Amino acid sequence: MKQQLAAIVESSEMLDHILETHSHHEQLLFEFRLDLDMGLLNEVGRINPKKVILTYRSRAEGGEGEKDQTARHRVLSDALNLPVGFVDLELKRDSNLLSRFENSEAEVVVLSLHDYTESMESVAQHYLECINKLNPDPELMEKLVFKCVGRPKDALDAIEAMDKFGDVKRRVVLGIGSQGELTRTAKCNQEFVFGAMSESIKVLSLDKLMEVHSADQPFLLGLMGKSLGHSLSPSIHDLFLENSAMKGHYHLFEAKTEDRFIRLVDRLKGYGIVGVNVTIPYKNLAYKLADIRLPPAELVEAANTLKYTEKGIVATNTDISGFERFLEANMLDRMSSALVIGAGGGAKAVIAALVNKNFKVHVSNRSKDRILELPENLLKRIVTVPTEETTCVDADLYINTTPIGMDGKISPTTLFPPSESIKAFVDIAYSYEKTGLVKYAGQMKLPAFDGKEMLFYQAADSFEFWTESTLDVPKLFRMWKERYGYA
């Protein structure tokens, strides 16, 4: 049977819209948020009452309800007297109402705990301890759904919270925010999951959830890194999914430490993830964790793309091919030499792409030791340039692979000044505003590019690697720029 989904209803007008748009969906439940609109109680009869969840949450629980316990219990007592499918009671504040449930009209009580102050795993552990202390009657237990909601610190935190409920038959374990999205998209025996019709509630949209859960095997993807709040990758992969036969979702999977990244890579195997991109600072570690390493990853000893297969985790590096596509699309591959600023993970992919295109590659970095850490097969193909001698380098392209200037306040040219031979500037970093290097190039009246295009092309190569399909990349790139105002 398909996963039951619950539409969060905030008003009578919203109910009208949901009924008009999704009334045909058999698995759809309706959560009436009484703390937002008490008038919703009058709307129960408009739909099958067995598909209704009545909820009343205070501000401490993420809602707008009264703090006064008497007023709260009056609302919930009225809810229990209605012949609805579910009434949502808060574990810490409403457990005394369980005694009334035996003689009520409601069929099921959802016993909830909302806590956004601790790690989600800690909240789940605390919830289960509270249930054990409450020790409900076994017959009552069969009529309860155990619901735990938190704000995960990272993606592993959400998974570990779900793991805590592994032996609980009727459960709803949900994470708020981007780090909790897997709790909603993965098919992991949840009683139901919520989708929102408005952006005021920070959860996935109902339309997206219905699309994902309508597929027998949803195509679940994601990006792994330490801090991902401003990533453009979801907007790119959403476009790819829209223009393919795949139904799925692209997640942001943060891991705050190397240890948590290692554990997360392993734990995602059990949640239907097809593949992930990897960004700073975990590309080298991703390469080491892979069971199978393809030549592009071996070339730079780093992986930005992993694919989960029956034979194990396969690693490749589409940063290289993405930069090659970028050079070709802008006819920069017709040039013959480049000065690369930086020697980190991004630099390795850029150098590899330039070498593949037969460029003469000069590399400058504040730490010469960092340059010496480049893979041997790249190190022997480059010329090392001291920072004070960058103006002497006869190169066509100036490529910044460092974070310098990402905020637009300074340019890497202040530390690594270019020679007069430079014909174009490339910054592999990107932001919503112009980077410092792009601003500098504008002042010099020379062509400049930031990292959005490279990002798009490497994303396309990753998507084709995961799906074994071919995208119309030029067309999709034009669509993406127009949709998000990057034209």
What's at 164, amino acid-wise? K
Backbone torsions φ then ψ of 2, nearest 5 degrees:
-65, 150
In degrees and rounded to multiples of 5, residue 223 shows phi and psi of -120, 130
Which residues face 339 on adjacent strands? 362, 398
Instruction: Say if CB 313 and CB 265 are below 8 A apart.
Output: yes
Helix or strand holding residue 21 (H, E): helix 12-22
Amino acid at 369: D
- CA–CA separation, 329 vs 183, rounded Å? 39
Q: What share of the chain is helix, strand, coil (3-state, %, to 5)?
A: 45, 20, 35
Query: How far is Cα 170 from Cα 201, in angstroms, rounded to an integer?
Result: 24
The neighbouring-strand residues paired with 211 are none
How far, in Å, CA of 262 to CA of 140, rounded? 41
**Contact at 8 Å (CB) between 282 and 290?**
no
Q: Is 386 exposed, middle or buried (0-12, 13-18, 19+ CB in 10 A)?
A: exposed
Of the candidates 327, 290, 284, which has an alpha carbon nearest to the alpha carbon of residue 312?
290
Could you write out the DSSP letters of every residue in 265-327?
A: HHHGGGGTEEEEEE-TT-HHHHHHH-SEE-HHHHHHT--SEEEEETTEEEEE-HHHHHHHHHH
Residues marked active site are found at 283
Contact between 423 and 397 under an 8 Å Cβ cutoff? The reply is: yes
Question: Which whole-number Å values give the CA distances from 406 to 403, 412, 434, in the listed order?
Answer: 6, 10, 8
